[in-house]
Structure 1
Amino acid sequence: MTDNTPSASAIPDDATDHGTAGPDSAAAGPAEQRDLADVPAVEVIGTVTVHLMSAAAVKLGLAENGEADLDLDEARKLITALAGLVTAAAPEIGSQHAAPLRDGLRTLQLAFREASHYPDEPGQGPGEKFTGAVYARG
């Protein structure tokens, strides 16, 4: 059996980039490795949430391929995992870090409801057991 798990001792610098690099960033060379012990927990949590949000957006058909990638079952799992992480981490990382994560989560929950042919009842949607019912602001 092979282990495809990334090394626990190193994390690439660009893993926390969140898409802010310019077009010339690829020319800078290979990503430098950072010792995972030097990476603050809030940065690791932020990176993981961005990956979950991105994957959920793809499964909701919000990415480049649109509805070709639509898979609501997969999106539900990703959004629920994201909701659990954001809810559990919020008291530890502080409101300045948690607020944008909650906003992104809420946006995905609403997008899920819009993409569903038979929307869940309020409080029954993905992750709502952790966040409470999500309603569109109006």
Structure 2
Amino acid sequence: MTQQLTRDIAEVPAVEIITTAAVHLMSAAAVKCGLGEGPAATDEVDLDEARRLITALAGLVTASAPDIGSQHAAPLRDGLKSLQLAFREASPVADPPGQGPGERFTGSVV
């Protein structure tokens, strides 16, 4: 079983693994920022968790962008920026410019 899984993952291009991980981070961060669907969306808000997820996403996108190319990196950057702005909107206390989640990797988002 492990040998089969190893063989299967070996056939997946790195760009696909990176973008899949980024999408998972984006989805989780969106939920933690209160962007989930349904009446319970506000119950799932956890800005501390969202900050961690967005920072991890920013690091992944920034580090991998040169290797995955602009065709894949551009939509990830757009999604990241949207999450950073959503975090700012959801936060009761504004982070100083350049100190929001992931901004040490992306620069200030306003």
| Same fold by TM-score greater than 0.5 | yes
Q: Which residue of 2 aligns with 1:63?
A: 36
- Mind listing any 5+ residue stretches in structure 2 that lack a counterpart? none
Which of 40, 46, 51 lines up with 2:13 in the alignment? 40
1:120 and 1:83 map into 2 onto residues whose CA distance is 16
Higher-RCO chain (CA-CA 8 Å, sequence separation at least 6): 2
Residue 100 of structure 2 aligns to a residue in which SS? coil
> RMSD across aligned C-alpha pairs, in angstroms?
1.7
Q: Which residue of 2 aligns with 1:53?
A: 26
Q: Which residue of 2 aligns with 1:131?
A: 106
2:4 and 2:46 map into 1 onto residues whose CA distance is 34
Residue 98 of structure 2 aligns to a residue in which SS? coil
Q: Which amino acid aligns with 1:133?
A: S
TM-score norm. by structure 2 comes to 0.92
Q: Where is the helix percentage greater, Structure 1 or Structure 2?
A: 2
Count of aligned residue pairs for this structure pair: 107
Which of 59, 68, 82 lines up with 1:84 in the alignment? 59
TM-score norm. by structure 1 comes to 0.74
Q: Where is the strand percentage greater, Structure 1 or Structure 2?
A: 1
- Displacement of 1:10 in angstroms is 2.8
Matches for 1:12-23 after TM superposition, within 5 Å: none
Instruction: State the structure with more CA Rg.
Output: 1
Which of 5, 16, 19 lines up with 1:10 in the alignment? 5
2:103 and 2:15 map into 1 onto residues whose CA distance is 23
- Mind listing any 5+ residue stretches in structure 1 that lack a counterpart? 1-6, 12-33
Whether 2:68 is the aligned partner of 1:96: answer: no
Q: Deviations over 1:37-60 (max 9, x none)?
A: 110000000100000000001101
Which of 96, 102, 110 lines up with 1:121 in the alignment? 96
